[in-house]
Structure 1
């Protein structure tokens, strides 16, 4: 039982270190690869946490498969059922939080589409009249394709060239389906507290990804930086919570984004950089797999050992 608990504790503690490594790696990769690394790390860390809790929850049930009396099991290992109950309660709590978070996502998306109903425009842009200063990428919903929503107040705040940057930025969010990446990490962040830091890091790198796409479309990094800064200042008085499902050019740590745009374009993830990213993801997969195998082996050995002792009449 001690071996099993040790593996479970290590598995539950691992996300704190894994999340820190993923954030540091993302800061050294181009935005596109940084986002993929963060999403992959979040999913793996959440999966490892759930696997550990599920394994601990099933210990008494595994013992029952060996036709062992639960009463006899508790005489020898009295902590088996309490630990299993705690694990089961945590799994149930995670499930409830996951369903609530998903429901909130759908409700926010529905309200966003409702608020954009007054907008007019051609193509993929909806202009909403009013004095509010806002712009965001609105994902598709119930058969409707995604649109770029911008208020007339935001358009009045920008020069023509800056408007082009803003629209290119929001189009990049839609084309890259960034809302799905954001949604995945936001959902699995309910599994373990350490994953919440990956959600914040992902929000920054998604904006950086869209910034770089906009700079490529416009062909001028300084103009792009100026447009992002002006849009953020204009929309500061009407700030809202950034992230899924509404990704906006005015969200995130804008000074860091502007500073990055004033630097040369990030080199493509080739050669050594790409190998580092792939190696890091591969290492995460291997580590998660080894941990899962160790947990499964430990549970198997625990049940076999319990069976030999209890059937043989051994005492605790």
Structure 2
């Protein structure tokens, strides 16, 4: 049958037989010598306050509890939190439960993928505080991490260094289940894992040596983020080619032709002959 015990704090611990729903008991205090005061007694009603069923949202962010009252009390306030290995989930709001089934959302924030239980409480007038922990066999699914790439001041996904042989990328990464995340990328068919992750921020410097060695000029990358449970997210990122400065063409030197301002050889020869003739004419009168 039913059994009731208390601890030094006055808390009641009730054992309910399988299949039983309600019972009443009259309690009378007894002193160490066995004396009782029949005029100082209380009658308690013990019973099932509610039944509960549960589901989990597809995104894994919340569990949904449906609380069905049994009519033991007219109305009570109910609250619940998820519990996993001592880690409590996010706090929720209390809901009033009366004569109809009532659904409440239980946050699974801070709960890792896997099985968990519920810690619940209920209170009503003329009723002792009800506190319990139970399992409905629910398991939180694993959600993949989220990753994004930030753009630089030029609106580009990557910043090339002066040598034009490597570029830097940075962005954000997080996991909804608060699991650790590792990152890698693929460029020109090769894998690269040189990411630095600090909290939700990540940065990576990527060399294009493998691309140059294979004569490739497409530097687009595929980033992969993986959480501790193995869920992964991939992000394809377009990388602009390095900027090559234009070199101004050098004009060839200008070469003068025979029709230019310089006198031709025949003209020089004629002037020389005229000069000689004038010199001879001046010497004859002497």
TM bin (shorter chain): under 0.3
> Which structure has the greater CA radius of gyration?
2
More strand per residue:
2
More helix per residue:
1
Give the alignment's TM-score, normalised by structure 1.
Answer: 0.20
Give the alignment's TM-score, normalised by structure 2.
Answer: 0.21
